[in-house]
Amino acid sequence: MGKNLTMLVMDAPYESANSTTALRIVQSALHKGHNVHVFAYEGAVTLTLKSQQPHANPAKGTTAEQEQHPTTKDWIKALFEMSKGNGAKLEWTNCGLCVDERGPAEWIDGPKRGGPPEFARSVIASDTTLVVPTKRNC
């Protein structure tokens, strides 16, 4: 039987490998039938930004099609579609204050606006919580 996983992510797209790893974990958990609730804070609220576009690479002279440039919004969109197919539920909450500060309010279908109270409720209701913080060296 599927369990409930709460994840918190904070990195903006292409900032670090954390985003890729977090999405790999979500994909695997959904594939195993677990319900996943992702909370995006800080720059991570741009992971689901609708206007993301693949681009060409002028340095290599390749087109956008040849580059096959992955965008996080397409990956997350695919995760939502995957969750519809296997019964596991994916919820995605973008921090409202983080969105207001940065302005990226046009998202793909699926994410909702929320904040710390929703995160706290999800943590309490979940079997496991994983926080993937931004990297700050010290």
Q: How far apart are CA 94 and CA 11, in angstroms?
A: 12
For CA atoms 34, 11, 79, 25, the dihedral sign is negative
Which residue, 40 or 99, is less far from other proteins as judged by CB?
A: 40
- Give the number of residues in contact with other proteins, rule: CB under 8 A: 23
Nearest to 6 by CA among 129, 133, 132, 131: 129
Which residue, 19 or 104, is less far from other proteins as judged by CB?
A: 19
Question: Which stretch, 23-31, 42-50, 58-66, 103-111, contacts other proteins (CB under 8 A)?
Answer: 23-31
Residues 6+ apart with CB under 8 A from 46: 12, 13, 102, 104
Residues 40, 48 contacting (CB under 8 angstroms): yes
Q: Considering the rule CB under 8 A, would residue 29 count as an interface residue with other proteins?
A: yes
117-136 residues near other proteins, rule: CB under 8 A: 127-133, 135
Q: Write out the residues near other proteins by the rule CB under 8 A.
A: 3, 5, 17-18, 21, 24-25, 27-29, 31-32, 34, 127-133, 135, 137-138
